[in-house]
Structure 1
Amino acid sequence: MDFLQLFGTWIFLISLAFMFLPMAQVKDWRARGTTDGFSSVHLILPVFMMGCWLRHGLMTSDKVNIAVNLMGIVSCSFYIVAFGVYTRNKTNLYKQLGALGAIFIAIFAYVGTLSAEDAPHAMGKIAAVAQNAGIFGGIYQIKSVLDKKTTEYMPSSMQFGILFILIQWTIFGLLSGNMYMVASRIPGLIVSFISISLYVVYPPITWRVPILGTQQAPEKKNE
């Protein structure tokens, strides 16, 4: 096993571990009895991204790409179901899932019209765009934090996990010569750094951020 294969195994293992991080968010939804304050966009967009990369992996016989994204789609599906159980706005979730399915059908139909030589390159470009489109979920979350002046509803485990895994995928892309993979991770890295910086600017109210140790000071009551 050469270094690239070894690093690919490492990527697979940490990606597998990353899939369990949203469990903390599910526990929070269960404790609150609702998903109010949270958005399903952060669950839908990753499925779009991973679905495109999975298709690209199947076209290029990239086993790491196939395994990681297939497992990711399965785990995200579980969290989407959990979100559906606790959300009060199920109609909005159904609309998002319907739009996701329609987009997949359109993309795969288009790629299917291309030659065997051109299709993988086209799918790689589409997957890179899908990866960058995923940052809109992060941008939406940043806007939500700026509006609420708190990171109370932005799970730190997810943010630190996303940053860590983005760095690993960027390194893997550089080592394997997959520039589609590298280019698609750069915007995500920028958004991730901005999101984490918000824990300092607008700390959460009821919990302390690991590593950074930030939390809003309790308001002093007038005696």
Structure 2
Amino acid sequence: MEFLQFLSCACIVFTVGMFSTGLADLKKMRASKSADNVQFLPFLTTCLNNLGWLYYGLLKSDGTLVLVNLIGACLQSLYIFFYCHYTNDKRRITAQTLLAGAVLCGGWLYFSVLLPQGESQLSQLGLTCSLFTVSMYLSPLADLVEIVRSRNVERLSFSLTVATFLTSTSWTLYGLQLQDYYIMVPNIPGIVTSLIRVFLFWRFASVVEGMPAYKPIHI
């Protein structure tokens, strides 16, 4: 098996596995008949991210990008549907969903109609998707600072951390092999933030286990 084909398989397996972690939230919502303890925006922003990369993959004729993000968009849409069904704050959720739909339509109009087809269209779409992905990877940094201050890692998911690390690493190597920096560069922050989470798990694991805590880190 060629290395690029191996990376393609790794990207598919790890990314679908990462997207599937939302099934735990789906199970929680169905069991409690409530969406009170589940965050909605990650589902919505991930769905937008998937659709952007899906379009990029179609323009590049990249089957790996198309397959992964098609599955991701379907899963996120499923999570959104169940969240809308179980939430008590339907007005706010509907407004956020409609706003996301307007952004999606505006993006489609710009990239498909206003921009001429060709390298400019592909590069601008790739840059937009890259910036959006970077912002998603960096958005939890505020939570990580709070975790350092509280020395409590209960809000972190170790399985999601590992899945994010494997996914980001495989996509970084995949983009490097293709010499596509729009794929490679935005996944580097995912590797970095995942390693930070692993360090926090190691550093503050004793707090969760009820053992004597380490001395606090001053930042």
Structure with more helix by fraction: 2
Q: Which residue of 1 aligns with 2:182?
A: 180
Q: Are residues 186 and 33 of structure 1, via their aligned partners in 2, closer, same or farther at CA, if it must alter by over 3 Å?
A: same
2:119 paired with 1:126: no
Farther off after superposition, 105-114 or 165-174? 105-114
* Structure 2 partner of 1:84: 84
CA contact (8 A) 1:58 1:66 kept: yes
Partner of 1:62: 62
Number of residue equivalences: 210
For 1:86 and 1:141, the matched residues in 2 are separated by 26
Cα distance in 1, alignment partners of residues 194 and 24 from structure 2: 19
RMSD: 2.9
Q: Corresponding residue for 1:215?
A: 208
2:141 alignment counterpart: 139
Report the residue type matching 1:3 in the other structure.
F
Structure 1 pair 55–147 and aligned structure 2 pair: CA distance change class (3 A): farther
Partner amino acid, structure 2, of 1:156: F
Q: TM-score when scaled to structure 2? A: 0.80
The one-character-per-residue Cα deviations of 1:172-218 (angstroms, maximum 9, x if unpaired) are: 11111111111111223223333344434555xxxxxxxxx872429
Report the residue type matching 1:46 in the other structure: T
CA distance in 2, matches of 1:64, 1:163: 18
- Return the offset for 1:168: 0.9
Instruction: Measure, in 1, the Cα distance between the counterparts of 2:80 and 2:145.
Output: 22
**What is the alpha-carbon distance in structure 1 between the residues aligned to residue 146 and residue 36 of structure 2?**
12
Q: Matched residue of 1:88: which SS?
A: coil
CA distance 1:92–1:151, shift in 2 (3 Å) = farther
Structure 1 segment 45-56 matched on structure 2, within 5 A: 45-56=45-56
CA–CA distance in 2 between the matches of 1:89 and 1:141? Answer: 24
Percent of aligned pairs with the same amino acid: 21
Contact 1:25 1:155 survives alignment (8 Å): no
Letter in 2 for 1:126: T
Alpha carbons 2:29, 2:35 under 8 Å: kept = yes
- Asked if 2 retains the 8 angstrom alpha-carbon contact of 1:47 and 1:76, the reply is yes
Letter in 2 for 1:114: L
